[in-house]
Amino acid sequence: MNFLLFSIINNVFNLLQLLIMIRVVLSWIDHDPYNQFIKFLYTITDIILEPIRELIPLQTLGFDFTPMVAFVLLGFIKNILLSFI
């Protein structure tokens, strides 16, 4: 049971971090914002990124550091949760 819970938590957080990385890469290249996958990606990652953007204004000089903060926070929260299992 513990291994199953560990695997689920680990995989969910890894997937969220991967989705954030994909969003960062997509911000550098041309893409169709009306594509179903892109809409899904933005919907999922905005749940994580928008609260951070509201709390800490990290958009300076054309760079958005919010994904880096979110990536680190997700890793930190994942490690805390997995340490309790």
Contact 39/18 with Cβ under 8 angstroms? no
Neighbours of 71 (CB within 10 A): 16
For the whole model, what pTM was predicted? Answer: 0.88
Task: Find how far residue 40's CA is from the centre of its chain.
Answer: 13
Cβ neighbours of residue 66 closer than 8 Å, sequence gap 6 or more:
49, 52, 53, 56, 58, 59
Q: What residue type is assigned to position 69 of the chain?
A: V
d(CA 48, CA 70): 7
Per-residue confidence in pLDDT tens, the chain, 85 aa: 789 999 999 999 999 999 999 999 999 999 898 999 999 999 999 999 999 988 887 777 678 889 999 999 999 999 999 999 8
